[in-house]
Amino acid sequence: MADTILEVKNLKKYFKTSRGMLHAVDDISFTVERGKTLGLVGESGCGKSTTGRAILRLIEPTSGEVIFEGKDVTKLSKKDMRHMRKDMQIIFQDPFSSLDPKKTVSQIIAEPITENKIIKGKLAIEERVLELMDTVGLAERYINTYPHELDGGRRQRIGIARALAIEPKLIVCDEPVSALDVSIQAQILNLLKELQVKLGLTYLFITHNLSVVNHFSDDIAVMYLGQIVEKAPSEELFDNPIHPYTQALLSAIPIPELGHTRQRVQLKGEITSPIEPPAECRFAKRCMQCKKEICTTHIPQLLEVKPGHFVACPLKQEELGFSIQ
């Protein structure tokens, strides 16, 4: 039985600009199973971070529902939302700017505990901080250091410890390893995986790094200009990418092996502006397989073309024998 922890329905986030409405996240829906990882991939500006933030209501969604354990969090009052965030936490991309430079490691990790009054008493809190530091692999001697004294990997461990402090069920990981060197990146990825098994965490893993997302996620959703263009289990997505954008994206990954000859799917042209986009496939202008008629007259809808494999490309849907309307 599928145990859905998070369901996002028709989520939209528009920003007002002087040139019109910017459709940062435009009508996306997906679900995440408890204890699993959903990878959200896409290039800069595709709306993946905005999605993560809108789910936690760190920015207010324009419309849509975010159902977490049966409750629509977009309808909660500020006070109830605060309460709800005990179960939903976020790890930010940049370990250099997401930690308060004036606080020590122990103060940073203790903050969510004291804020939410989870544990009372100085000694008990310190004990919990030490336990958390141990969980994320930070040596006890760093307890009174400041973030600037530590390197990127250790800082990211503080960010993880802070997110874990109030025992959340869901963690939105927004590019948690992008700012780190490969050897450190692997340490953090392994740590996140271990914690998932140990604590039964659910992750929404946002990244632009395709090899990392493939390694880390159970399912992957590919975003392009505010929309999900393809969603499938990781293995299926990498073995049989259907959407032309996914194909191009996957073929662009440089592989650290010799004798790798591949047909690279080249993209042409400029990215469509996300400000007041026309009612057509947003990828059409860069797509090599685009057929004028079908791609510019139909607004692509995400359809299940194979069990668990969703694609929003009218051309491919027709090829696979689905009637599109």
Partner 1 sequence: MEEENKKNTEEHDILNIENLTVRFETEDGVVHAVNGIDLKLGYRKTLGLVGETGAGKTTTALAMLRLVPNPPGVVECDRLEIDGKDVRDLSVNKLEQVRGKDISMIFQDPMTALNPVFTVGEQIAESIEIHEKLSKEKSLEKAGDMLEMVGIPRQRANEYPHQFSGGMKQRVVIAIALACNPKLLIADEPTTALDVTIQAQVLELMNELKEKYNTSMIMITHDLGIVAEVCDDVAVMYAGRIVEQGSLEEVYSDTKHPYTEGLFNSLPNIKNRQRMLKPIHGLMPDPSNLPKGCAFAPRCNYATDACKEAVPKLLCVKGTHKVACSRYESDPNFVIERGKK
Positions in the binding site for partner 1 (CB under 8 A): 43-44, 151, 153, 181-187, 189-190, 208, 210-212, 214-216, 234-235, 238, 248-249, 251-258, 260, 264, 266-267, 270-271
With a CB cutoff of 8 Å and minimum separation 6, the contacts of 103 are 111, 146, 147
Closest distance to partner 1 from the beta carbon of 119 (Å): 31
Tell me the angle at which helices 122-135 and 152-164 cross, rounded to the nearest 10 degrees.
130
Cα–Cα–Cα angle for 271, 272, 274, nearest 5°?
115
Nearer to partner 1, 165 or 192 (CB): 192
Nearer to partner 1, 121 or 256 (CB): 256
Helices and strands of the chain, counted as H and E runs? 11, 12
Closest distance to partner 1 from the beta carbon of 14 (Å): 22
Closest distance to partner 1 from the beta carbon of 258 (Å): 5
Q: Give 14's strand partners.
A: 23
Nearer to partner 1, 267 or 275 (CB): 267
Closest distance to partner 1 from the beta carbon of 195 (Å): 15
Q: Give 206's strand partners.
A: 40, 174
Closest distance to partner 1 from the beta carbon of 313 (Å): 17
Closest distance to partner 1 from the beta carbon of 251 (Å): 8
Nearer to partner 1, 121 or 254 (CB): 254
Nearer to partner 1, 86 or 285 (CB): 285
- Check: CB of residue 91 under 8 Å from CB of residue 165: no
Among 229, 228, 250, 230, CA closest to 238? 250
DSSP state of 168: -
DSSP string of 197-258? HHHT-EEEEEES-HHHHHHH-SEEEEEETTEEEEEEEHHHHHHS--SHHHHHHHHTSPPSSS
Nearer to partner 1, 99 or 287 (CB): 287
Residue 146: φ, ψ to 5°: -100, 155
